Structure 1
Amino acid sequence: MRTLLNIIWFIFSGLWLALGYWAAGIIACIFIVTIPWGIASFRIGNYALWPFGREVIETRPAGVATTLGNIIWLIVAGVWLAIGHVVTSIPLFISIIGIPLGWANIKLIPVSLMPLGKKIVDSDQLMPGYRGA
């Protein structure tokens, strides 16, 4: 079932969202100081391309640098990427078959707003009963 959802997702949302994340990552990597945001953007872009069967978890308690980095990301790119998720989720929610895909879009909003200090893992690697961030 995951594979089928991922294929449908790829066609209707995943490719377009991943391109947005990758564009943000390229722009962030052009400026040497913002490479950590670029790496995070590429990581989330890959997750946005094929999300079913994977989860986002916290890597460690957020320090001051991670918090400041997330605030900068939120202002510069996070809001725009989150808007992209909302815009692509609306037509998915309108169609009955697209409701799970719309929920997947909404699920990506928190990591698009605050990507630093997060890790993407396969759902099979999680402990039983644990739900990611």
Structure 2
Amino acid sequence: MSILGNIVWFIFGGVLAGIGWYLVGLLWCCTIVGIPVGMQCFKFGTLSFFPFGKEIQYGGGAGSFLLNILWLVFGGVELALNHVIFGLILCCTIIGIPFGMQHFKLAKLAILPFGAEIVYKG
């Protein structure tokens, strides 16, 4: 089921979600200090292309907390709002609910990307 979900997701919006993450990552990589943040964006951009069959585990310490605060100020809120709006639109139909739930998963990730780890479901 996750393969079919990923194919439909990619065609009907996953491309735009992934490109959003990659664009923010490119902006962060314009500075030497922002390169680690940009690399994180590229990792989650790949997740945005194909989110079905994957879960996100949150953790981290003080360093992750500080980076998450900077992230919220410089780009995280816009990506999170993008995912929330698309998730709400998709949840208006029964068929769109699984896809809306993926957007909500990505919205939470857009708020707290540092200290998060992608885990593949069995």
Q: TM-score range by the shorter chain?
A: over 0.9
Q: Counterpart of 1:127?
A: none
TM-score (norm. length: structure 2) = 0.93
Matches within 5 A, 1:102-113: 102-113=100-111
- Separation in structure 2 between the aligned mates of residue 43 and residue 85 of structure 1, nearest angstrom: 17
**Structure 2 gaps, min length 5:** none
How far 1:40 moved relative to its partner?
A: 1.0
Give 2:74's match in structure 1, choosing from 76, 85, 91.
76
Matched, 1:96 2:117: no
Q: Counterpart of 2:55?
A: 55
Question: For the aligned residues, what is the CA RMSD?
Answer: 1.2
Q: Counterpart of 2:8?
A: 8
- Separation in structure 2 between the aligned mates of residue 39 and residue 11 of structure 1, nearest angstrom: 24
Q: Is the 8 A contact 2:24 2:75 kept in 1?
A: yes
TM-score (norm. length: structure 1) = 0.86
Q: Which amino acid aligns with 1:10?
A: F
- Separation in structure 2 between the aligned mates of residue 55 and residue 77 of structure 1, nearest angstrom: 22
* Number of corresponding residues: 122
- Separation in structure 2 between the aligned mates of residue 71 and residue 39 of structure 1, nearest angstrom: 17
How far 1:116 moved relative to its partner?
A: 0.8
How far 1:114 moved relative to its partner?
A: 1.1
Q: Which amino acid aligns with 1:89?
A: G
Matched, 1:32 2:21: no
- Separation in structure 1 between the aligned mates of residue 60 and residue 87 of structure 2, nearest angstrom: 29
Q: Is the 8 A contact 2:60 2:116 kept in 1?
A: no
- Separation in structure 1 between the aligned mates of residue 55 and residue 21 of structure 2, nearest angstrom: 17
Taking only the aligned residue pairs, the percentage that are identical comes to 39
Structure 1 outlier segments of 4+, above 4 Å: none
Q: Which amino acid aligns with 1:48?
A: S
**Structure 1 gaps, min length 5:** 125-133
Mean CA deviation greater in 19-28 or 93-102: 93-102
Q: Which amino acid aligns with 2:81?
A: I
Q: Which amino acid aligns with 2:115?
A: G
- Separation in structure 1 between the aligned mates of residue 60 and residue 3 of structure 2, nearest angstrom: 33
